[in-house]
Structure 1
Amino acid sequence: MLAYNFGSHHPMNPLRLDLTARLLNLVGLFDLPQVTREIPDVADDASLLTVHDADYVQAVKDADADPDSADGAVGIGTDDTPAFPGMHSASARMVGGSLAAAEAVLSGSAQHAVNFGGGLHHAGRARAGGFCIYNDAAAAIQRLLDGGVQRVLYLDVDAHHGDGTQEIFWDDKRVMTISLHETGMSLFPGTGFPDELGGPSAFGFAVNLALPTITSDSGFLRAFHAVVPQLATAFQPEVIVSQHGCDSHRDDPLTNLRFTVDAQYAAAVAIRDLASSLCEGRWIATGGGGYNITSVVPRSWTLLTAVAAGTDITPSSPVPEPWRAYVKEHFGSTAPYVFGDGSDTWWQSWEAGFDPNENLDRAIMATRKAVFPLHGLDPWFD
């Protein structure tokens, strides 16, 4: 999976996956009897074509064969998403990981599945963007639908709007996409506002909560719990697919949100609990953005995997010293001693009241007013 590599100067450094896997190994998650590791296949064209246009897949292959010919026409060959040799197979392998997760959940061989190398949510049906070539989460959702699942809830808590996944399922009411992200007024891709509600056959099934630029833990968790559980309950999904980009962290170099690993962990727990209460535990979790590769990404995604595996590893658990020594030796940086950041993630329930003077509350209300009535919910009192 490290072959998904845009080059040494690109912010999406594949070593973030290596460091995460090393940390997962050292805390013993790979050795648990309830955990199985699978080598992801390279997804075949038939699988890619369930969510991408044939001309686009061919354009990726052409750029793979001749990277210098990529001119940005389909989003490949840009500074964000440069072409590189082997890009088709590397990207298709990321899809293969999420397809394996979908197959495991469909067959019942797994209740929870994690592909922390996935979550490439900016890839649209016919265009790359934002470091994303093929959309693995969308392919997994489509596999679930093709396997007989009637309703899939897609939850995206990356700092960036999940625009590609939203676009692919824009007019499909079998899929509700909910994205909580930094407002497009201050961050790529400049979309994801409350009035983006879905196509004519699925109006109200695209949900966006554009968080104020420097929202912190308590604001994020207030927003999440003011919108997500209510809509999830109304939608009654059979499977939840979530995207856990950790670039919302206060130390991420590319975004402006102010979350901690503790809040990212709290979101993972909340999503797991929603899956437990609404869809018999069926949950597929992917990675996504995250560009502080030594301090943030491995801790956040190890905690995500720990939540999925049902272990007692929490933000207060110690980070193994051998992993910290490895980071110091190979990257010259000092990693934290524990998995969390010591943050107080207390948040005030929406039921305590709406403050019209708060930018956060106005953002929450904008989403509730736009979407809740379309699902029989009262935006003011529910």
Structure 2
Amino acid sequence: MGAMHQKDLCGCSADEAVAFIYGDEFSDYNFSASHPLQPIRLKLTYELLKAYGVFYKPHVKLLPGRMATDEELLGIHTAGYVDAVKKISETGDAFGDPSMYGADGSVYGPKFGIGAGDNPAFKGMHEAASLIAGSAIEATELVMSGRVAHSVSISGGLHHALSDRASGFCVYNDPACAIDYAVKHYGARVLYVDIDAHHGDGVQWAFYDRSDVLTLSLHESGRYLFPGTGFIEEIGTGEGEGYSVNVPFEPGIYDELYLRAFNEVVPPVVRAFKPDLIVSQNGCDSHHTDPLASMSLTTNAYEHIYARIHELAHEVSGGKLVALGGGGYQIYEVVPRAWTLLTAEVASVGLDNEIPGPWREMCAGHSRSECPRKLRDEPIEGTAANLQAKTEQTIEQVKQKLFPYLGLSVG
């Protein structure tokens, strides 16, 4: 007799089903019209996937998000911080309302990282940020419960938020909340892999003393880029020693060298840790055109990374994979293409390289520059000898520092 397969959501077997979590209300997470993090990038990605017909595939289910509960937020964030975000959210003013001052005279906004600069206050901030966190948690529940094999929540990936402070455009740390949910509700061992140009500091610190969560971040070195962390020496503490892996790159790192580091570090670490769930953060601000970082990757590197993580999930974690968004500030030219390729890989859907005309017309209505015609970048060859030597040195240092903790051979 053949094996029984659970059927759910799409009517197909659950080991084939993929959930894509999206709603126009995700655009409510909007700091300002001049802020680098523009929510139109989510809408453009959704529309590009729709133009390609991905949501018409029987195994792909488009689902709404949900808000995180206070209990879920408090698994990662302090009560004082969540209360402050709620209070600021009522008026969208972190400075002007006298009621915003605490008993000690401190202002809620600056005290908790909300105000001018990276994280300006806006009305409805709590609800918007909670929706992103709750949607990452829902994506995790769908996978861990077996209703789908994989899930994608492109609004997520806000990896800089700390337990008691907003940071780097991030109010609530949805990846950490999702991981915390999987650990508490399913006793899962979780591996978090972060390919954003910026170090995934908030997630790292949330689980820095844990051995049931391994964080793995590949990023531009903190010597050059916010948040100034993510060095090889940050390996965890106490029970978590050896479960924080960082691969910092020099500015200008290009596809060939990045992928060499990825392939030499990520697969062996995943196999050694044997996670029940992989959560990936897929920031695409490492692209060579991104204005906020100095890396030189193309979509070709992203496709390889997405495929390898997908393969590893099937090899090691029974297919359980939650893919989140992240940074990415080439709103029209890069983000929609990168996350369309991500979703297509997770859903095992092939896509033509020619971008559908209707999407380009829609994009042109928002963008001042020409919208892309091709889904994939042309290859860019890198030749900097100093980058090659430095990258090889970094790979060796990561192996020497971390591999023994995981029972891996350094050679």
Q: What TM-score comes out, normalization by structure 1 length?
A: 0.94
Contact 2:81 2:165 in 1 (8 A): yes
1:119 Cα deviation from its structure 2 partner: 0.3
What is the match of residue 364 of structure 1? 395
| Equivalent residues in 2 for 1:72-83, closer than 5 Å | 72-83=110-121
Secondary structure of the residue aligned to 2:240 is coil
Secondary structure of the residue aligned to 1:370 is helix
What is the match of residue 89 of structure 2? 64
One-letter amino acid of the counterpart of residue 146, structure 1 = K
Per mean C-alpha deviation after superposition, the further-off stretch among 180-189 and 334-343 is 334-343
How big is each residue's C-alpha offset from its partner over 1:91-142, in whole Å with a ceiling of 9 and x where there is no partner? 0000111111111012101100000110000011111100000011111111
One-letter amino acid of the counterpart of residue 4, structure 1 = Y
1:346 Cα deviation from its structure 2 partner: 11
Partners of 2:172 and 2:237 in 1: how far apart?
A: 22
Partners of 2:186 and 2:109 in 1: how far apart?
A: 40
What is the match of residue 40 of structure 1? 65
Distance 1:230 1:345, change over 3 A: farther
One-letter amino acid of the counterpart of residue 278, structure 2 = I
1:75 Cα deviation from its structure 2 partner: 1.3
What is the match of residue 327 of structure 1? 363
Match of 1:169 among 182, 193, 207: 207
Secondary structure of the residue aligned to 1:10 is coil
What is the match of residue 339 of structure 1? 375
What is the match of residue 100 of structure 2? none
Structure 1 gaps of 5+ residues are 348-354
Partners of 1:304 and 1:271 in 2: how far apart?
A: 10
Partners of 2:275 and 2:370 in 1: how far apart?
A: 42
Match of 1:17 among 33, 42, 47: 42
Secondary structure of the residue aligned to 1:147 is helix
How big is each residue's C-alpha offset from its partner over 1:261-309, in whole Å with a ceiling of 9 and x where there is no partner? 1111211111001101101111000000000000000000011011111
Secondary structure of the residue aligned to 1:23 is helix
What is the match of residue 119 of structure 1? 157
| Equivalent residues in 2 for 1:84-99, closer than 5 Å | 84-99=122-137
What is the match of residue 376 of structure 1? 407
What is the match of residue 292 of structure 2? 254
Contact 1:12 1:131 in 2 (8 A): yes
Partners of 2:388 and 2:318 in 1: how far apart?
A: 40
1:356 Cα deviation from its structure 2 partner: 11
What is the match of residue 230 of structure 1? 268
Does 2:214 match 1:189? no
How many matched pairs? 371
1:357 Cα deviation from its structure 2 partner: 7.2
Contact 1:262 1:345 in 2 (8 A): no
Contact 2:288 2:296 in 1 (8 A): yes
Does 2:247 match 1:217? no
What is the match of residue 11 of structure 2? none
Does 2:81 match 1:50? no
Partners of 2:391 and 2:142 in 1: how far apart?
A: 38
One-letter amino acid of the counterpart of residue 284, structure 2 = C
Secondary structure of the residue aligned to 2:279 is strand
1:172 Cα deviation from its structure 2 partner: 1.1
Q: What TM-score comes out, normalization by structure 2 length?
A: 0.87
What is the match of residue 352 of structure 1? none
Match of 2:353 among 295, 311, 317: 317
Does 2:29 match 1:4? yes
Question: After TM superposition, what 4+ stretches of structure 1 lie above 4 angstroms from structure 2?
Answer: 344-347
Partners of 1:50 and 1:259 in 2: how far apart?
A: 35
